[in-house]
Structure 1
């Protein structure tokens, strides 16, 4: 069964064709990040306009690369949240028009659900249900217990800034550009020493939640004081200190969630999953505890439509088509929150 996947949840316009939930026939992502760099972040109106201009071309390219004409498609999967409302509306409207015109079923997919699925688009990667899953991106830092595709329990979540957002804000303060994640990683690799004594927010809290706003504030306060004292702190050392603090917290929380719930498989996905320091730290700790660790391929860590088509195949098989009157959702929690005593 060939599914066309479409994702326009944020700034990238993405389309992909995936066969039977696993075989990626094409995966096209069109990004115009340079249009947003001047503003230090994504401008919703600009993103909306670019999606409108690019969506048809991106879908046509995905079909051409997959050598799959429209009459060989079996369904259309599309992200309906969370994300920017205008951006989401472009993708969902296009997907529904195409599906209705061709008589195809449509399946609506939570963008985060796609990220949870992305580690299993690797060759030979198989889910062990239930398993522990971590999503780390610019907008989300969350831990889930995955019972099956379509059945999730949130174990922990970011209370304020997500990890990727903290990277963005530190990079912006340093004048290094946007997005911050890859830039912080690049600078950190060149550091002689990390910035010492940075806080590890909520490292020892009795839960699996995250908070990175305090880390960002501590870094900025340190840099402001250094400037007043006419002290020079290399940007490389700042980035390494921030990266080390974030990775320590993420690794500790992920391992605690997996071990406390008796889960033998841990996955990592989301844009920050491309970070080598984080991947290596989780892999080392998981191996020590006898936990299988799987990370999304770097090419699928950031937003893409292959993950939407992949998990969409499972959802369509289990639930059937989605209703045509479901609205897009800027906020869309994935599963209930685990209750704590």
Structure 2
């Protein structure tokens, strides 16, 4: 395979419609994102049917804009990459069918991309010389994993949430204290005004002390119980203290398990991915812990933490390089696991 392989990538797994042109998995020529956050905020979360309809309205526009910004046309593209899971099935199908139509009409290779692996690949865009092996912490609204990436396409899940994802817990706690959706950025901002030691919220403990799994449902319930007790006693609550104390408990869990994973695999690098990777408290806490333990901590820039097509284009390139393409029978897999093909 030669150099300058241009991938047109499409991402539509949730509520962002995105298209990008990526060269050799590292260089982003364009990364267009149409976000539906303002639409779904009024509902307190993503409404799947609305998300699918908005994807249909936006997808041609974002693809055209991605090509225009990259100063290319469809004939210049070498392959089409697209997210096929995990995600909302209706949303996934919009991007997938559009990508399949392009690949068929242009007689270009089609590459199906695992959305979670796409998040990991955002680090290859940010850090041009980054190569496996390394440990990756994937934290988003729908997923929380600790993954050992031995090589491109070779993933070992070392830990994962047993219930709520970290970002999901953020959203639910934010809603409970009246911050609204999306909860992550709002808790991160409010927590800066609070005392993280004001309330001792619990962290899950598993019988298997070697486990690197997570559980955030108990932490979420502890916040709700605290609020209910205050309400029954007619006592005021300090929302900033709640946000800061909750965030400390959640982030310390993520940080401790990530450091343990590095020690188990004898690697000195953690790459962080997913929407929660934009959280400023997580960034500081993990970098501080990395400094203490001699571990480099890598974060993509904020725009690459959220759902975007550039990360899909990067992952698609490495799949293509390994000879992994898909047929026209490729279908959406809403519950696709990391490492599955």
TM class, shorter-length: over 0.9
Distance apart, 1:193 and its partner CA: 5.1
* Structure 1 residue ranges, 4+ long, deviating more than 2 angstroms after superposition: 192-195, 202-206
Range with greater deviation from structure 2 (49-58 or 289-298): 289-298
Residue ranges of structure 2 left out of the alignment (5+ in a row)? none
1:300 equivalenced with 2:304 (yes/no): yes
* Contact 2:10/2:99, CA 8 A, preserved across alignment: yes
Summarize deviations over 1:179-228 as a string: whole Å, max 9, x none. 11001001101114544111012388420100000001001101111112
Distance apart, 1:38 and its partner CA: 2.0
Q: How does 1:94-133 map to 2 (within 5 A)?
A: 94-127=98-131, 129-133=132-136
Alignment match, 1:2: 6
Partners of 2:59 and 2:27 in 1: CA distance:
23
* Contact 1:13/1:51, CA 8 A, preserved across alignment: yes
Partners of 1:141 and 1:50 in 2: CA distance:
27
Call closer, same or farther: CA 1:130–1:193 in 2, change over 3 Å: closer
Residue ranges of structure 1 left out of the alignment (5+ in a row)? 337-341
* Contact 1:194/1:238, CA 8 A, preserved across alignment: no
Partners of 1:279 and 1:269 in 2: CA distance:
11
1:211 equivalenced with 2:241 (yes/no): no
1:76 equivalenced with 2:80 (yes/no): yes
Partners of 1:25 and 1:253 in 2: CA distance:
36
* Contact 2:25/2:124, CA 8 A, preserved across alignment: no
- Tell me the SS of whatever aligns to 1:319: coil
Q: How does 1:150-169 map to 2 (within 5 A)?
A: 150-169=153-172
Distance apart, 1:123 and its partner CA: 4.4
1:322 equivalenced with 2:321 (yes/no): no
Summarize deviations over 1:7-51 as a string: whole Å, max 9, x none. 000111010001111110000110121221122111110001000
Q: How does 1:144-223 map to 2 (within 5 A)?
A: 144-192=147-195, 194-202=197-205, 205-223=209-227
* Contact 1:138/1:162, CA 8 A, preserved across alignment: yes
- Tell me the SS of whatever aligns to 1:252: helix
Call closer, same or farther: CA 1:135–1:59 in 2, change over 3 Å: same
- Tell me the SS of whatever aligns to 1:94: helix
* Contact 2:195/2:245, CA 8 A, preserved across alignment: no
- Tell me the SS of whatever aligns to 2:224: helix
Call closer, same or farther: CA 1:54–1:17 in 2, change over 3 Å: same
Distance apart, 1:125 and its partner CA: 4.3
1:263 equivalenced with 2:267 (yes/no): yes
* Contact 1:6/1:15, CA 8 A, preserved across alignment: yes
* Contact 1:270/1:302, CA 8 A, preserved across alignment: yes
1:41 equivalenced with 2:48 (yes/no): no
Partners of 1:240 and 1:125 in 2: CA distance:
36
Distance apart, 1:256 and its partner CA: 0.6
Partners of 1:291 and 1:193 in 2: CA distance:
25
* Contact 2:22/2:30, CA 8 A, preserved across alignment: yes
Q: How does 1:269-284 map to 2 (within 5 A)?
A: 269-284=273-288
* Contact 2:196/2:248, CA 8 A, preserved across alignment: no
* Contact 1:3/1:73, CA 8 A, preserved across alignment: yes
Partners of 1:216 and 1:125 in 2: CA distance:
39
Partners of 2:145 and 2:332 in 1: CA distance:
21
Partners of 1:335 and 1:13 in 2: CA distance:
24
* Contact 1:194/1:239, CA 8 A, preserved across alignment: no
Q: How does 1:228-247 map to 2 (within 5 A)?
A: 228-247=232-251
Partners of 2:268 and 2:140 in 1: CA distance:
23
- What's the TM-score once normalised by structure 2's chain length? 0.95
Distance apart, 1:175 and its partner CA: 1.5
